[in-house]
Amino acid sequence: MLSFSALSLLFLAVGPALAIPPPDFGFPEAPNDTALAVTFPNNGSPLVVAEAQLFGVTIPSQEPTVAVDPSRSASIASYNGSYTLLMVDPDARYPEAPTSRFILHWLQTNMTTGPQAADGTTQLINTTQPRAPYRGPAPPTNSSAHRYILYAFFQHENFTFPPAFEGYNATNRTSFNLTDFLDQSNLGQTAAAAMYYFASNQTGVPPDFVAAAGATYPSGNGQMITAGPGPSIAPSSTPATATASATGASSEGSSSGSGSGGPSATGSAASASPSSDAVKTRAGLGVVMIACTLIVLTFA
* pLDDT tens digit sequence for 3-14: 433 433 333 333
Tell me which residue of 60, 55, 73 sits closest to 17, measured CA to CA: 73
Tens digit of each residue's pLDDT (9 = 90 or more) over 169-210: 999 999 999 999 999 999 999 999 999 999 999 988 999 999
Superfamily of segment(s) 19-282: PEBP-like (3.90.280.10)
Burial of 80 (0-12, 13-18, 19+ CB in 10 A): exposed
Please calculate the CA angle 202-195-274 and round it to the nearest 5 degrees.
Answer: 50
User: Domain segments of the chain: what residues?
Assistant: 19-282
* Rounded distance between C-alpha atoms, residue 146 and residue 198, angstroms: 5
Inter-residue contact 211 to 219 (CB < 8 Å): no
Q: Which residue type does 119 have?
A: D
Q: What is the pTM of this model?
A: 0.78
Sign of the Cα torsion 203, 234, 149, 97 reads: negative
pLDDT at 200: 94
> What is the β-pairing status of strands 65-68 and 47-48?
unpaired
